[in-house]
Amino acid sequence: MAAIHRPAHLTHHAAKLASAACIDKAQAIGVPMNIAIVDASLYLLHFERMPGAKLTSVDIAINKAFTAAGHRAPTSVYKENVWPGGPAFGLNSSNNGRFMYVAGGIPIVVEGEVVGAIGCSTGTPAQDTEVSQAGVDAVLEYIKQLHSEPKL
């Protein structure tokens, strides 16, 4: 049994690639976004606020990424569960109020391990999710390309 566990972490370069993909998607759908990317330790790695993105959504985007990475699940899975009468009622007040249950936070999972997460906010929950997913897809494609390069 190992004495030390070293989880993989998203690099700043990969976070910037994800952010660029999120920006492209946000521009394509016409919704400026706040885009937050955290590493596996839940720390903010990269943040973008597009011109016109809601100032009140900055913390929401960051907390969506925090929740998705920390709970290893998209923020959308908690919606009704945290409402009164739900099985996880009150969970949204955990972590000093940082827990987000609004869609738009998606973990980045590589070989079964969460290496980071993306949270987007300003649009509807569906738009936020669409933009976050574009960033996740870009990171996974980048990793796939790195692993498929021939070794000389």
| 17-37 pLDDT tens trace | 999 999 999 999 999 999 999
Residue 151 pLDDT more than 70? no
Please indicate, yes or no, if residue 3 is contained in any of the structural domains: no
Domain tally for the chain? 1
Please indicate, yes or no, if residue 4 is contained in any of the structural domains: no
Residue whose C-alpha is closest to residue 130's, from 106, 148, 113: 106
**C-alpha R_g of the chain:** 16
Contacts of residue 81, Cβ cutoff 8 Å, sequence gap at least 6: 87, 88, 89, 91, 101
Please indicate, yes or no, if residue 19 is contained in any of the structural domains: yes
Q: What is the CATH number of the domain that holds 128?
A: 3.30.450.150
| 55-107 pLDDT tens trace | 999 999 999 999 999 999 999 987 777 777 877 777 777 778 788 889 999 99
Contact 78, 90 (CB under 8 A): no
Domain around 91: 12-148
- Residue 125 phi, psi (nearest 5): -55, -40
Please indicate, yes or no, if residue 75 is contained in any of the structural domains: yes
Cα 30 to its chain centre, rounded Å, is 20
3-class secondary structure, 35: strand
